Amino acid sequence: EVQLLESGGGLVQPGGSLRLSCTVSGFTFSSYVMSWVRQAPGKGLEWVSGISGSGASTYYADSVKGRFTISRDNSKNMLFLQMNSLRVEDTAVYYCAKRQSAWPRLDYWGQGTLVIVSS
Amino acid sequence: QSALTQPPSASGSPGQSVTISCTGTSSDVGGYNYVSWYQHHPGKAPKLMIYEVSKRPSGVPDRFSGSKSGNTASLTVSGLQAEDEADYHCSSYAGSNNPVVFGGGTKLTVL
């Protein structure tokens, strides 16, 4: 059974940092592109970032480029999102998701972790 | 403001059909046959319902179907059931620089 479990969310002040983790099981993690998607309160989904199976290629939405860094540890089946210089508008539930074949086919998602950026 | 435009709400009675639209541009929906639809019950993980405009993953009922005309994609849910009540989000490939764009989501209510 495929499972994705996010962790690391919480309350942080504007300008602060947070590192999200996603632990996966049930598939060959290193073979798949992984992604982070977020949903701000009352808003639609927003794609945030993606990373190739090897970790060599990374992709970012313009809204987070230069502030967020995606990475992965294939030996531990874990995906990460380092979030720096956080803004109030980064407040959202963050989901990790597995990509199947090509964008935007995200075939498995976690249940999300809530990040609140507030003073 | 989301890149793709969806109606904020849609509704139908049990057994009826409802269609949700997703309008983009020639740079996303109109330019590629890579549109996906997700069902999202609040507090749960989003679920892939349609990919590549009209393909259904294994396990998704054939009551769910997708199509595209020009810059607008559509999701049709036939034979509405109570458990279909959820938020539905469309997404499209939008090129290598910003590969994924989403719509604002549509809340489907089964009356």
What does the pLDDT look like over A60-109, one tens digit per residue? 999 999 999 999 999 999 999 999 999 999 999 999 999 999 899 999 99
Does the pLDDT at position B61 exceed 80? yes
Of all residues in chain B, the one with the smallest CA distance to A5 is: B45
What six digits make up the tokens of A72? 């992965």
Indicate the SS3 state at residue A57: coil
Q: What is the DSSP letter of B103?
A: B
Which H helix or E strand runs over B59? none
Does the pLDDT at position B60 exceed 90? yes
Indicate the SS3 state at residue A110: coil
| pLDDT band with cut points at 50, 70 and 90 for residue B2 | confident
Q: Say yes or no for a CB contact (<8 Å) between B48 and A106.
A: yes
Does the pLDDT at position B55 exceed 90? yes
| pLDDT band with cut points at 50, 70 and 90 for residue B96 | confident
| pLDDT band with cut points at 50, 70 and 90 for residue B104 | very high
Average pLDDT over residues B74-95: 97
- Closest approach of chain A CAs to the CA of B104, in angstroms? 4
Instruction: Give the C-alpha separation, A67 to A11, whole Å.
Output: 18
Strands (E), chain A: 3-7, 10-12, 18-25, 34-39, 45-51, 58-60, 68-73, 78-83, 92-99, 106-109, 113-117
Report the range of poorest mean pLDDT among A102-106, B19-23, B84-88.
Answer: A102-106
Q: Say yes or no for a CB contact (<8 Å) between A43 and B2.
A: yes
Instruction: Give the C-alpha separation, B88 to B24, whole Å.
Output: 16
Pairing of β A113-117 and β B18-23? unpaired
Of all residues in chain A, the one with the smallest CA distance to B49 is: A107
Does the pLDDT at position B64 exceed 80? yes
Instruction: Give the C-alpha separation, A85 to A67, whole Å.
Output: 6
Of A62, A102, A108, the CB nearest to B34: A102
Of A44, A104, A107, the CB nearest to B100: A104
Q: What is the pLDDT of residues A19-42, one digit of tens each?
A: 999 999 999 999 999 999 999 999
- Closest approach of chain B CAs to the CA of A87, in angstroms? 17
Inform me whether the C-beta atom of residue A48 falls under 8 Å from chain B C-beta atoms. no
Burial of A31 (0-12, 13-18, 19+ CB in 10 A): exposed
3-state secondary structure B66-85: EEEECCEEEEEECCCCHHHC
Average pLDDT over residues A112-119: 97
Residues of A in contact with B47 (CB under 8 A): 109
Does the pLDDT at position B1 exceed 80? no
Instruction: Give the C-alpha separation, A106 to B9, whole Å.
Output: 23
Give the Cβ contact number of residue B105 at 10 Å. Answer: 25
pLDDT at residue A74, rounded to an integer = 97
DSSP H helical segments within chain B, as ranges?
none
pLDDT at residue B90, rounded to an integer = 98
Residues of A in contact with B102 (CB under 8 A): 37, 44-47
Of A45, A62, A112, the CB nearest to B102: A45
Q: Say yes or no for a CB contact (<8 Å) between B45 and A111.
A: yes
Q: Say yes or no for a CB contact (<8 Å) between B91 and A35.
A: no
Inform me whether the C-beta atom of residue A89 falls under 8 Å from chain B C-beta atoms. no
